Amino acid sequence: MTEHLKEAGYSGQIDIGGSRSPVTYKLKACREDDGAFHVAVSLTTSRDWLLKHGFRRQATLVRQGGYQTAVHFEETLNVADNISVTLRADDAVIASMDELKRKFPELQTG
């Protein structure tokens, strides 16, 4: 059975080729039966801002503390997509609590 550890929103920035915009990103951490920790990272942002800055499928999320995480859109973004789009990172699979704290220090606060 999966043990839910924490789910919270944090302030960060989305970066596309050096152009940045503030965003709120969400981290969802849980512990699986095998003892590994899984962290899902997602954010919702403006389709128009993304397109204006040349986004097609991938950008960089700059998390609290300057940590960078690649985020992507499932398909190539275009004007037919919703005005707000959700970008996701590949789920992080982490072996230990120490590694979890090191890679996602924002999970320790609040």
What is the pTM (predicted TM-score) of this model? 0.89
Assign 109 a pLDDT band (cuts: 50, 70, 90): low
Give the residue carrying structure tokens 């503390």.
Answer: 65
Q: Compute CA 22 distance to the chain's CA centroid, rounded to the nearest angstrom.
A: 13
pLDDT tens digits along 41-88: 999 999 999 999 999 899 999 999 899 999 999 999 999 999 999 999
Torsion (CA) 103, 24, 82, 55 in degrees, nearest 10 = -60
